[in-house]
Amino acid sequence: MSLSASIVLLPTPLPSWLPLPLFSGKVAAGFPSPADDYIEKNLDLNELLVHKPAATFFVRAQGESMIGAGIHPNDILVVDRSIEAVPGKIVICALNGELTVKGLERDNGQWQLKAENPAYADILIHDELDMVIWGVVTNVIHAV
């Protein structure tokens, strides 16, 4: 499934620093625990999500082929072009002129782009396929 055309191709400019509180206590996902009102530090999401600003861009996901990897329609993907695309990574690539997000895998010597939804077929990579990997997905911003 292809991605939306709302892509930032240039390095993402960092906005002025926006410190937000990061609490030192963790939130229980099971049974509740007493809240800890201690603020550990201020956290800038750029500091957390963007490690190499000159090599980072954002793209909005479209479609459901990567639901099993936690990527849903309209999620924002943080993509780093400086990270090597190796098996096991989720990549953004131009495939015959259309962008797609898939898992990069190598099975029995055969490279493939793997969907994370059984309703979608995996894509075998071969010489006749026009494919360019744009970068590796490092984070997914998902609204709940």
Which tokens is 32 given? 């509740």
Selection from 69, 60, 44 nearest residue 120 by Cα? 69
> How far is residue 54's CA from residue 49's CA, in Å, rounded to a whole number?
13
The set of catalytic residues is 65, 102
Contact 128, 134 (CB under 8 A): no
Selection from 29, 140, 35 nearest residue 92 by Cα? 140
| CA-CA-CA-CA dihedral for 106, 108, 109, 114, to nearest 10 | -30
Which tokens is 11 given? 């390095």
Selection from 26, 103, 101, 119 nearest residue 57 by Cα? 101
